[in-house]
């Protein structure tokens, strides 16, 4: 429901679908999402990956989920900034001052204008107390574990220092 909430026929809707898929399938933190640049979409051994710049300047590579990859491709096609390799991947869709769309999204805007907005529209906010980006990290971890992922790999993927933290995310 959450992925279908943004309209598929607008630039903002395409961007928001790509953001939600990236969060749901890869369990990124808001800061990691907002720091992504176009060049962070990388081919590694023939598989599309996200190069994530995490806490304490740690870099990790996550294989992209096909749905997230498709939605990001649709967004980049509509936005037209695929060749701006050093530019932010996810950008504002409107700038009333300069008209240029060069700045990355603000982490608070991701929370209020995307997560909370579509959570409210789908009724998730009413059913999940404290629905936020960390809720999506928990969904991503739980989904991976439900599909047979090793908890140690999920720990590495979420960049947790201790596996006990990863176990807190497991909602099975």
pLDDT digits (tens, 9 = 90+) for 29-83: 999 999 999 999 999 999 999 999 988 888 989 999 999 999 999 999 999 999 9
Which of 17, 65, 91, 137 is labelled catalytic?
137
Distances in Å between the Cα of 44 and the Cα atoms of 79, 119, 170 are: 25, 34, 29
Q: How many domains does the chain have?
A: 1
Which of 15, 29, 117, 153 is labelled catalytic?
29
What gap in Å lies between CA 122 and CA 124, rounded to an integer? 6
> Within a 10 A sphere around the Cβ of 67, how many other Cβ atoms?
15
Q: What percent of the chain stands above pLDDT 90?
A: 49
Mean pLDDT taken over the chain: 88
- Asked if 81 is an active-site residue, the reply is no
**Nearest Cα residue to 78 out of 6, 152, 155, 168:** 6
| pLDDT greater than 80 at residue 2 | yes
| Inside any domain, residue 5 | no
- Asked if 134 is an active-site residue, the reply is yes
* Residue 134: CATH number of its domain: 1.10.443.10
Strand partners, 51: 61
**Average pLDDT of 150-154?**
86
What gap in Å lies between CA 55 and CA 74, rounded to an integer? 29
| pLDDT greater than 80 at residue 163 | yes
> Within a 10 A sphere around the Cβ of 170, how many other Cβ atoms?
14
**Nearest Cα residue to 38 out of 50, 54, 56, 30:** 50
Which of 39, 44, 55, 103 is labelled catalytic?
55
Whole-prediction pTM value?
0.85
Structure tokens at 93: 């869709």
Which of 25, 75, 118, 169 is labelled catalytic?
169
Which of 82, 116, 160, 167 is labelled catalytic?
160
Which of 70, 82, 134, 167 is labelled catalytic?
134
pLDDT at 49: 96
Range of the domain at 140: 11-169
pLDDT at 154: 83
- Asked if 167 is an active-site residue, the reply is no
What gap in Å lies between CA 16 and CA 92, rounded to an integer? 10
| Inside any domain, residue 4 | no
> Helices (DSSP H) in the chain: which residue ranges?
11-26, 30-35, 66-79, 107-109, 117-122, 124-127, 133-146, 151-158, 163-169
- Asked if 160 is an active-site residue, the reply is yes
Q: pLDDT grade, residue 98 (50/70/90)?
A: low
| pLDDT greater than 80 at residue 132 | no
pLDDT at 99: 59
């Amino acid at each position: 429901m959450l992925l279908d909430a943004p309209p598929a026929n607008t630039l903002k809707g395409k961007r928001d679908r790509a953001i939600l898929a990236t969060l749901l399938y890869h369990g990124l933190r808001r800061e990691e999402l907002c720091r992504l640049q176009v060049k962070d979409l990388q081919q590694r051994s023939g598989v599309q990956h996200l190069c994530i710049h995490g806490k304490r300047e740690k870099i990790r590579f996550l294989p992209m989920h096909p749905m997230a990859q498709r939605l990001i491709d649709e967004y980049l096609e509509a936005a037209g900034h695929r060749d701006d390799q050093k530019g932010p991947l996810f950008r504002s869709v409107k700038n009333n001052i300069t008209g240029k769309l060069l700045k990355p999204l603000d982490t608070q805007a991701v929370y209020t204008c995307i997560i909370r907005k579509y959570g409210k529209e789908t009724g998730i906010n009413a059913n999940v107390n404290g629905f936020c980006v960390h809720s999506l990290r928990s969904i991503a971890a739980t989904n991976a574990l439900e599909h047979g992922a090793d908890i140690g790999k999920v720990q590495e993927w979420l960049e947790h220092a201790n596996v006990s933290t990863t176990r807190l995310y497991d909602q099975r």
